[in-house]
Amino acid sequence: MQLTFAFFAGLSSTGALALVVPNSTALALAMSNSTALTPAGPNPTALALVMPNSTALAPAVPSSTVLALVMPNSTTLGFPGLNHVQSRNAKAAIDQVRAEGLNRQACLAVISTALQESELQIYANPIVPASMNYPHDKVGGDQDSIGMFQQRAKFYSDVATDMSAAGSTRLFLADMKGIAGWQTMEVSALCQAVQKAEAGNLYGQRIPLAEQVCSAAGF
């Protein structure tokens, strides 16, 4: 029997690693963020061990059949338009909104602001040395701003809270609830008021994606 090693051309959205047997099945290791058993998709990226003219390993199933073996402990945190890191942080923030019994308006303000301030990532900052000791997604250097909402350590001195997606959301919501009429304010104006920022229109451009995320979360 002749063994031939070959690479399939093209990349799939799942990035699968498959052992392919002609006219049989592919056992695909689907590197996605899903816990479901899903097809690896057409033309999966594969490192294939091709066995021409052999049927020894070929079950009687159609050649298009692909069995997906999904990594254990993977996650289903995915939100529309967000990657895994952003989705993880968005979920923590949205869980905090829900825990406080707040509504869609609060969700939109939280997600729009976090998208604009940090792309929904947790920033450490060497200017605040303690922040470097906490898990973070990026490192920044804008004054003493840290965390997902770029809250300034000068005013939000509990660094552990600032560096937590849920904790920093709690701080944001506390400030938001202190603004008269927040429930009916235009969302970008609300974001601007909470952050004491000058350019509310920058938050406004994030609202369409925030609407998708909050809708997916059930708000």
pLDDT of residue 201: 79
Confidence of residue 199 (pLDDT cuts 50, 70, 90): low
Measure Cα distances from 43 to 20, 38, 102, 132, 195 in Å.
Answer: 11, 14, 45, 42, 47
pLDDT of residue 197: 86
Confidence of residue 47 (pLDDT cuts 50, 70, 90): very low
pLDDT of residue 3: 41
pTM attached to this predicted model: 0.66
Higher pLDDT, 14 or 184: 184
Question: Where are any strands of DSSP class E within 32-155?
Answer: 47-50, 66-70, 123-124, 138-139, 145-146, 151-152
Q: Phi, psi (5° rounding) for residue 111?
A: -70, -40
For the record, the structure tokens of 160 come out as 């552990």
pLDDT of residue 64: 36
Please count the structural domains in the chain: 2
pLDDT of residue 206: 97
pLDDT of residue 24: 39
Residue range 114-157, pLDDT digits in tens = 999 999 999 999 999 999 999 999 999 999 999 999 999 999 99
Q: Give the separation between CA 170 and CA 174, rounded to whole angstroms.
A: 6
Same domain for 71 and 102, yes or no, is: no
For the record, the structure tokens of 178 come out as 């202190």
Calculate ∠ Cα 115-116-119, nearest 5°.
Answer: 45
> Residue 9: is it exposed, middle or buried by C-beta count within 10 angstroms (0-12/13-18/19+)?
exposed
Q: Which domain holds residue 70?
A: 1-75
Same domain for 140 and 161, yes or no, is: yes
Q: Single out the residue in 52, 75, 98 at which a domain terminates.
A: 75
Q: Single out the residue in 75, 100, 133 at which a domain terminates.
A: 75
Same domain for 94 and 202, yes or no, is: yes
* Mean of the per-residue pLDDT values of the chain: 76
Same domain for 67 and 150, yes or no, is: no
Residue 105 pLDDT > 50: yes
| HEC readout, 66-87 | EEEEECCCCCCCCCCCCCHHHH
Same domain for 172 and 143, yes or no, is: yes
Residue 50 pLDDT > 50: no
Same domain for 21 and 100, yes or no, is: no
Same domain for 124 and 99, yes or no, is: yes
Q: Judge contact between 12 and 40, C-beta under 8 A.
A: yes
Q: Single out the residue in 75, 100, 130 at which a domain terminates.
A: 75
Same domain for 33 and 119, yes or no, is: no
Q: What is the mean pLDDT of residues 174-193?
A: 97
The proportion of the chain whose per-residue pLDDT surpasses 70, expressed as a percent, equals: 64
pLDDT of residue 200: 63
Q: What is the mean pLDDT of residues 45-62?
A: 39
Which of these, 117, 157, 109, lies nearest to 140 by C-alpha position?
Answer: 117
pLDDT of residue 77: 57
Rg (C-alpha) for the chain, rounded Å, is 23
Residue 161 pLDDT > 60: yes
Same domain for 69 and 119, yes or no, is: no
Same domain for 43 and 150, yes or no, is: no
For the record, the structure tokens of 164 come out as 């937590």
Same domain for 9 and 110, yes or no, is: no
Which of these, 176, 115, 184, 178, lies nearest to 150 by C-alpha position?
Answer: 115
Same domain for 143 and 110, yes or no, is: yes
